[in-house]
Amino acid sequence: MNLFYYPGACSLADHIALIETGLSYRLISIKHDKKTEDGRDFLSINPKGYIPTLELENGTILTENQVILNYIAEKSGKLLPGDPILRWRALEALAFMSSEIHSRYQPFFRNFPELEKERAREKLAQAFAILAEQMGDKTFLVSGEMTVADCYLFWVLMVAPRSGVELPEALSRSFDHMRALPSVIRAFAEEGLG
């Protein structure tokens, strides 16, 4: 499989999941001119023009973090709990992070006016409080084991400082724990991150 990515972007969640599951993959970076490092026109691969994008062995293209993370989990049989309710909780957390956190970062990524940033900070603080309550004192978000939700959570927490929102203790603890995992260390190294 080919994972199209930008270093340190949200595709990092998929990269971590691929390492955790042991699935075979190749990283292909995207340049700002929408060319891939192997010379292809990225828009011909994914007309949406953004990452992550996963190209399967048969040429099928998957987009959207939630879909790619779920695909990685399903294909590997890892990173989703066996318990049906906990499995749904992991998928629910993915959807929540995508809609209520990731989307709220736009004002900070694109330098929107301060009023819009302040509204986003309020919504982010509320969303982080919900996740912190869900996590409680568990090591991972939905259970005692890492799930695809934790891969995405790591990224949304990693970029949180851009917003100026202080993370609740449970989420800070989760970020520190995840940052020390071999899969995260390896993904950082492979993406050339410090």
H/E stretch holding 117? helix 114-135
Q: How many CB atoms are located within 10 Å of the residue 39 CB?
A: 6
Mean pLDDT, rounded, of the chain: 96
> Average pLDDT for residues 61-76, to the nearest whole number?
97
Tell me, what's the pLDDT at 146?
98
Query: Quick one: pLDDT band at residue 51, thresholds 50, 70, 90?
Result: very high
* Contact between 187 and 16 (Cβ < 8 Å): yes
- Kindly state the percentage of the chain with pLDDT values over 90: 96
How high is the pLDDT of residue 32? 85
pTM of the model: 0.96
For residue 111, pLDDT over 90 is answered with no
Q: Report the distance separating Cα 134 and Cα 6, nearest Å.
A: 30
Residue 194 has pLDDT above 80, yes or no: no
Residue among 167, 14, 145 nearest 87 (CA): 145
Q: Does residue 28 surpass a pLDDT of 90?
A: yes
With a cut of 80, say whether residue 2 has pLDDT above it: yes
pLDDT digits (tens, 9 = 90+) for 153-182: 999 999 999 999 999 999 999 999 999 999
